[in-house]
Homo-oligomer: A and B are copies of this chain.
C-alpha cells in the first residue's frame, strides 16, 4: 500500500501529465463557437516557435498576439478560460526544456504547453497533403487538416514509444546515448512499429539495443512527450540473463548497475558521478519501480 502511494506520488511529479483542460472536442467543428471562444477577453494564447514558447524573462506571454493567423483550440481551464495555441514568430521566446528543468511553472501549465507544442509542430510539418501533394487547410479548430482537391483528411500524429526498465536479480539494465551529458544513464526506449503489441515492442527494442531477451513485460505508467509528439508507454520487464551485446548505433553504452547504486544514481549521490533520469521524465518512475522493491528472483 505504501509502495502504491509512493508510485502515485512519483507519477504526479512527471512533466506533462497534469492537464486540467477540458478539450471540448464537440465544439471543434463549430466555427462560430470557436470564434466566440477566441474573442473572449479571458482567452489565453500560447505562441509556439520550434521548441520554445513566446514570452519574456522566465514567463510565457499568453496575451493575444497582434498577428496570430490560425489558432488551435486547446480547451477550457478550471476557471472556464479558453486556451488557444498558434505558430509564433516572436523574437522573445523561452525554450521549453529549460522551463521544464527550472520547475518555475505549475504542472497544469506545462501540460498545456505540451499540447500546444505538439499540435503547432504537426501543422507546420504537415502543410501539404501526403496523399496528393496539394497544400491542405486547417479544420476542426486545429485537430484535422483537409485536402480540398483529393478530399483527404489528416489527423494529428501521436507516436507511441516504449520505454522500459529491465531488471535481473539485484541489477538494472541502463543505457546511454552518445549525445547525453557525461555520466547520465537511463531506461532503453524506442518507437513502436506497425503490427506489434506493446509487449513485443519492448522485447524487440531491448534485444536490438542491448542483445538482452526479456520476459514478464508489464505496464507501469504513460507520459506525453512533446518533442515533438510522442506518447511514452512506460513498461518494466525481467531479463533472462545478464549477457549484453550493445548496438553501437543506437546506444553508446549499456550496462548492468546494482540496484543500490541505481538508488544513488536516482538521488544524484553516486560516488563516480553516474546519474539516472530526471524526476520529471517517466524513466525515473520506471527505474524507481524496479529498485524500490525487493528483487522478485
- Residues in A lying within 8 Å of B, measured CB to CB: 16-17, 19, 23, 25-26, 111-112, 114-116, 118-119, 122, 125-135, 143, 152, 154-160, 191-200, 204, 208, 219, 221-224, 226, 229, 231, 233, 247, 249
- A119 partner, pick from B194, B208, B247, beta carbons under 8 A: B194
6 A–B pairs (Cβ distance < 8 Å), ordered by A? A19-B196, A127-B130, A128-B130, A130-B154, A133-B135, A158-B159
How many identical chains are in the complex? Answer: 2
Instruction: Say how far A98's CB is from chain B's closest CB, in angstroms.
Output: 19
Q: Which residue of chain B is the closest to A200 with respect to CB atoms?
A: B19
Chain B: minimal CB distance from A4 (Å): 11
A233 is contacted by which of B17, B112, B156, B198 (Cβ under 8 Å)? Answer: B198
- Known contacts A126-B131, A156-B194, A157-B157, then 18 further A-B pairs from the complex at CB < 8 Å, ordered by chain A residue: A16-B195, A19-B196, A19-B200, A23-B193, A26-B208, A26-B249, A111-B195, A119-B195, A128-B128, A128-B131, A128-B132, A129-B130, A133-B134, A156-B193, A160-B231, A197-B223, A198-B222, A198-B233
From B134, B194, B199, give the contact of A122 (CB < 8 A).
B194
CA A187 to CA B27, docked complex, whole Å: 24
Bound form: Cα–Cα A115–B122 in Å: 25
Q: Which of B16, B19, B158 contacts A160 (CB 8 A)?
A: B158
**B residues in contact with A247, CB < 8 Å:** 26
Q: B133 and A23: CB pair below 8 A?
A: no
The 3 A-B pairs at the shortest CB distance, nearest first, are namely: A115-B195, A118-B194, A128-B133
A221 to B233, CA, bound (A): 12
Give min CB distance, A236 to chain B, whole Å: 12
Determine whether the beta carbon of A204 is less than 8 Å from that of B131. no
CA distance A257 to B238 in the complex (A): 39
Is A195's CB under 8 angstroms from B208's CB? no
Within the complex, the shortest CB–CB distance from A260 to chain B, in Å, comes to 29
Other-chain residue from B128, B158, B160, B219 in contact with A129 (beta carbon distance below 8 A): B128
**What residues of chain B lie closer than 8 Å to A231, measured between beta carbons?**
160, 192, 198
B residues in contact with A135, CB < 8 Å: 133
Q: How far is the CA of A2 from the CA of B133 in the complex (A)?
A: 55
A130 to B222, CA, bound (A): 28
Among A129, A135, A152: residue with most chain B CB under 10 A? A129
